[in-house]
Structure 1
């Protein structure tokens, strides 16, 4: 059987440390494979996200897609950061700026020292009501609930976010693909903290969720009356994010560390449309 080799990288995003942040696979393609094959690769990787990119019209322009083990996502922050890291540090893209074309529009990424910064659309959340089964699944009554793509659930103290032990069986009853539930509170050493849970997903708690900060940044910028903020996502792996509210756009910065470099092998007939 003829096999096509695909370069693959596994990168820990939004962290300075291996085994921290959120792991993403990044696959280097020259042309798009059929969507079912991309989904099979993501399921085989079984990481929170697998990113695929192909070259664009210039040396710093690329097309980008993201897949969880189950579905294609409309937007993913940590896998975008990981892809930029691969392009800058492994493939050697010149300069300090990359542009991705995606299902969420044009997404610029800039590099300054060890920090990569995503330029993403802002998604301010609006007041909302959660189903009672979800409130029961969280186990602690929130101060307020909001929603954009994701539910944003507000608590008073960081300690509540750290100690929260949601009931997956109850939360998995919700169907809000491709969104999730982000719980958040003021931070003790940073401006705000969060955790992110995904109903009906095989990976229930996402370690660090860049796209959720499209809602968290405008939310906390308004509440704290400041446009530059620091954030932590308090999963077991811990993520650190540097955030800026720019109105209709948000900047989400973080570091990356490469964990794995390798190759995967796909039968050649899968490359046919």
Structure 2
């Protein structure tokens, strides 16, 4: 079986920056084991699988070790592929959770609409040991999204998390953030559980950071930089209960994926 495949660097204006994602187009859903095998073979941070449904697309996302319920950077990559190929202005992705994710053209790149993720002040006593520094404030929610506010951009850059400890705590997300210099906001994002790691550029984290920072900045839009080794730049804009995340994408590979069966 031959499947259309793209490797896209999302939230990047050049190759080998931003966050890599695979995009695989299917005629219909393959068994879960086949999707898992493809994602494991590709070894990208996330692979998006697309199935056409009338004027929309069903989407599922997988890492090499698990299925994701939400993946912002791979959704932006899907928009880049579909809008670039079909010439449309916007596309809707339908998730297994019943949400609709919209991607549209904007300012030379794309904007992605995600549900705003709200957090509340909530202590995490082990945060300092896990992250290597003590945050000024900790905000979290029941879905394992966490925001850890630091006093300066330099502190965020200097963080040295204990990834071994993070691998044993569950699939928590640690968005460590401060006011930025070249951008309004800077962050680094660490993900716990199996495969604990630093994420390159994280759409879902900015769906939580957007309402958090919009209140502090006193405005509904701002610029953001995720300070991973690869790095990535985003615009964040609140619109009701949705967050619009803007950025560019770069195609690194376009071709065919050969799958047994």
| Deviation readout 1:50-71 (Å, 9 max, x if unpaired) | 000011112xx11111111111
How much has 1:32 moved relative to structure 2? Answer: 0.6
Q: Is 2:10 the counterpart of 1:10?
A: no
What is the root-mean-square deviation in Å for CA atoms of aligned residues? Answer: 1.3
1:271 equivalent in structure 2: none
Q: Is 2:146 the counterpart of 1:151?
A: yes
TM-score by length of 2: 0.95
Q: Return the match for 1:22 from 19, 23, 31.
A: 19
Contact preservation (8 Å) 1:39, 1:67: yes
TM-score by length of 1: 0.91
1:117 equivalent in structure 2: 111
1:98 equivalent in structure 2: 91
Residue ranges of structure 1 left out of the alignment (5+ in a row): 269-273
Contact preservation (8 Å) 1:75, 1:103: no
CA distance in 2, matches of 1:264, 1:128: 45
CA distance in 2, matches of 1:151, 1:233: 15
1:256 equivalent in structure 2: 249
Residue ranges of structure 2 left out of the alignment (5+ in a row): none
CA distance in 2, matches of 1:157, 1:52: 39
CA distance in 1, matches of 2:174, 2:194: 12
Q: Return the match for 1:71 from 66, 70, 74.
A: 66
Structure 1 runs of 4+ aligned residues shifted over 3 Å read none
Structure 2 matches for 1:1-273, cutoff 5 A?
4-58=1-55, 61-89=56-84, 92-104=85-97, 105-132=99-126, 134-148=127-141, 149=143, 150-175=145-170, 177=171, 179-202=172-195, 204-268=197-261
Q: 1:131 and 1:263, CA in 2 relative to 1: closer, same or farther beyond 3 A?
A: farther
Contact preservation (8 Å) 1:231, 1:242: yes
Q: 1:223 and 1:103, CA in 2 relative to 1: closer, same or farther beyond 3 A?
A: farther
CA distance in 1, matches of 2:191, 2:152: 22
